[in-house]
C-alpha cells in the first residue's frame, strides 16, 4: 500500500506542477511529499521530475510513467466503485467537454436535472469546438460531432445529424427562393468558417443516388452556427447549419427551410470516454444521461415541418435515471 501512496503523491504533484500545492491537497507536509517522490525515483531508477524553486515539471520518462500511474490509480478507484455502487450514488468530479452549439442548445439546459439526480457529482463543463485528447487532458467524457478516429476511446453513437438550408422569410421575399442547389449561385450564402483550418465548410446536398458538395462563401462568414442563425434571421442571407441549431428559429417562423428535398445526412454525434475494465459510477451516469437526452431519432432530425426543440419531452426521460442506476449494480459495460 505504501507504493500506491507514493504513486498517488507523484500523480498529484505532476498534475499541479507543484509539490506544496499537491501536499496541501493531500493533507501532508511538502517535505513529506518531496521525500515520497524522491524514494519513488530511487526505486524506479530514473528521474521523474525537474525541480526548480518555482515549480516542477515532468521529465520525458516521468511523463510516460505519469500516464501509467494515473491509469493504475483510476483502475483502483473504479474497482472500489464497483464494490460500493450498489449502495451509493455516483460521487466526485466529472470533467465533460461539449461542442459549443450542441452543448448550449441540447445539453446545458438539461444539466440541472442531472445535478438534481446526482448531487454527489461535481460537473466541470467545457464548451469548445475542438477535439480534446481525453487521456492527456484528463477529460472524463466528451461529445463529438463527426468521425471518432482516436482508437484509445470508446465511442457510443447517440444520433445522426441533419443539416438544413434556410433563410428568413424577408430575405426570400426580396430575393426569391432557390429551387435547386445550383440556384444558390445567385444568392448570398453565409459560410461556416472551420476553426482549425480557416476554410469554409462546403454545403452537401442529396441529388438522386449521390451527393453534391457546393463551395460557398460571402462577404460575411462566421465560425459559429448560432451566430449564423442570428444573421440569417436578420435577413442577411442563406445558411446551412445543423438542424438542432436552427430548429427553434424555424419553429418560431423566423427562418424558413428551403431545398428540403435535397437535405443530406450529417455526421454522427457520439459520446466518448476512455475505456476501463469497470467504468466509474459518475462516467456511467453521465453516459446514461446523454443516451436518455439524445434518442437515435431526436426531434431536430425529423422533416422540416416537424422541427421543434422538444426539450421538455426529452428531459422527462431523465427522471428514472437515478433510481434505475443505483439499483442496478450489474449494468453491462459498453
pLDDT at residue 331, rounded to an integer: 33
pLDDT at residue 301, rounded to an integer: 67
- Please count the residues of the chain: 334
DSSP string, 260-296: GGGBPEEEEEEEEE---SS--HHHHHHHHHHHHHS-S
pLDDT at residue 145, rounded to an integer: 87
Whether 324 shows a pLDDT value over 60: the answer reads: no
> pLDDT-based confidence at 218, cuts 50/70/90?
confident
pLDDT at residue 8, rounded to an integer: 87
In contact, 184 and 214? CB cutoff 8 Å: yes
Domain ranges of the chain: 2-84, 90-324
CATH 1.10.10.10, domain 2-84, yes or no: yes
Alpha carbon distance 147, 19 (integer Å): 40
> pLDDT-based confidence at 333, cuts 50/70/90?
very low
> pLDDT-based confidence at 269, cuts 50/70/90?
very high
Helix (H, G, I), strand (E, B) or coil at 153: coil
pLDDT at residue 173, rounded to an integer: 95
Alpha carbon distance 312, 314 (integer Å): 5
Alpha carbon distance 66, 68 (integer Å): 5
In contact, 264 and 211? CB cutoff 8 Å: yes
- Mean pLDDT over each residue of the chain, to the nearest integer: 82
Lowest-pLDDT range, 62-71, 95-104, 250-259? 62-71
DSSP string, 173-203: HHH---SSGGGGGGS-BPPBBPTTT-PBPPE
> pLDDT-based confidence at 238, cuts 50/70/90?
very high
Burial 133-142 (b: 16+ CB within 10 A, else e): ebeeeebbbb
CATH number of 90-324: 3.40.190.290
Alpha carbon distance 12, 17 (integer Å): 8
Instruction: Quick: pLDDT tens for 110-146.
Output: 999 999 999 989 999 999 888 888 877 888 999 998 8
In contact, 170 and 290? CB cutoff 8 Å: no
Whether 165 shows a pLDDT value over 90: the answer reads: yes
Instruction: Quick: pLDDT tens for 30-82.
Output: 898 889 989 988 888 899 998 887 778 899 888 888 888 887 887 777 666 66
Helix (H, G, I), strand (E, B) or coil at 319: helix
In contact, 179 and 171? CB cutoff 8 Å: no
> DSSP character for 85?
T
Alpha carbon distance 76, 4 (integer Å): 10
Lowest-pLDDT range, 15-19, 80-84, 85-89? 85-89
pLDDT at residue 85, rounded to an integer: 56
Instruction: Quick: pLDDT tens for 273-304.
Output: 987 655 678 898 999 999 999 888 777 666 55
pLDDT at residue 317, rounded to an integer: 45
Amino acid at each position: 500500500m505504501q507504493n500506491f501512496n507514493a504513486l498517488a503523491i507523484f500523480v498529484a504533484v505532476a498534475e499541479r506542477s507543484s509539490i506544496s500545492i499537491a501536499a496541501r491537497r493531500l493533507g501532508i507536509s511538502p517535505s513529506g511529499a518531496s521525500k515520497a517522490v524522491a524514494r519513488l525515483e530511487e526505486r524506479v531508477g530514473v528521474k521523474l521530475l525537474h525541480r526548480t524553486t518555482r515549480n516542477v515539471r515532468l521529465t520525458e520518462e516521468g511523463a510516460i510513467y505519469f500516464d501509467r500511474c494515473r491509469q493504475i490509480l483510476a483502475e483502483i478507484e473504479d474497482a472500489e466503485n464497483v464494490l460500493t455502487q450498489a449502495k451509493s450514488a455516483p460521487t466526485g468530479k466529472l470533467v465533460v467537454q461539449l461542442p459549443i452549439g450542441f452543448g448550449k442548445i441540447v445539453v446545458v439546459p438539461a444539466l440541472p436535472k442531472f445535478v438534481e439526480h446526482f448531487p454527489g457529482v461535481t460537473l466541470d463543463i467545457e464548451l469548445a469546438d475542438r477535439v480534446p485528447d481525453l487521456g492527456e487532458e484528463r477529460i472524463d467524457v466528451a461529445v463529438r460531432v463527426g468521425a471518432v478516429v482516436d482508437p484509445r476511446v470508446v465511442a457510443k453513437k447517440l444520433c445522426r445529424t441533419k443539416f438544413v438550408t434556410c433563410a428568413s422569410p424577408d430575405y426570400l421575399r426580396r430575393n426569391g427562393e432557390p429551387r435547386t442547389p445550383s440556384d444558390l449561385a445567385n444568392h448570398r450564402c453565409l459560410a461556416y468558417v472551420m476553426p482549425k483550418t480557416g476554410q469554409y465548410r462546403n454545403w452537401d446536398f442529396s441529388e438522386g443516388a449521390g451527393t453534391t458538395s457546393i463551395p460557398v462563401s460571402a462577404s460575411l462568414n462566421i465560425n459559429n452556427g448560432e451566430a449564423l442563425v442570428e444573421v440569417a434571421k436578420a435577413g442577411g442571407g442563406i445558411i446551412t447549419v445543423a438542424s438542432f441549431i436552427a430548429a427553434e428559429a424555424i419553429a418560431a417562423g423566423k427562418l424558413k427551410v428551403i431545398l428540403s428535398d435535397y437535405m443530406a445526412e450529417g455526421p454522427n454525434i457520439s459520446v466518448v470516454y476512455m475505456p476501463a475494465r469497470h467504468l466509474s459510477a459518475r462516467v456511467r451516469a453521465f453516459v446514461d444521461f446523454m443516451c436518455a437526452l439524445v434518442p437515435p431519432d431526436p426531434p431536430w432530425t425529423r422533416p422540416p415541418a416537424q422541427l421543434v426543440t422538444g426539450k421538455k419531452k426529452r428531459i422527462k426521460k431523465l427522471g428514472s435515471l437515478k433510481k434505475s442506476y443505483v439499483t442496478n449494480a450489474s449494468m453491462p459495460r459498453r
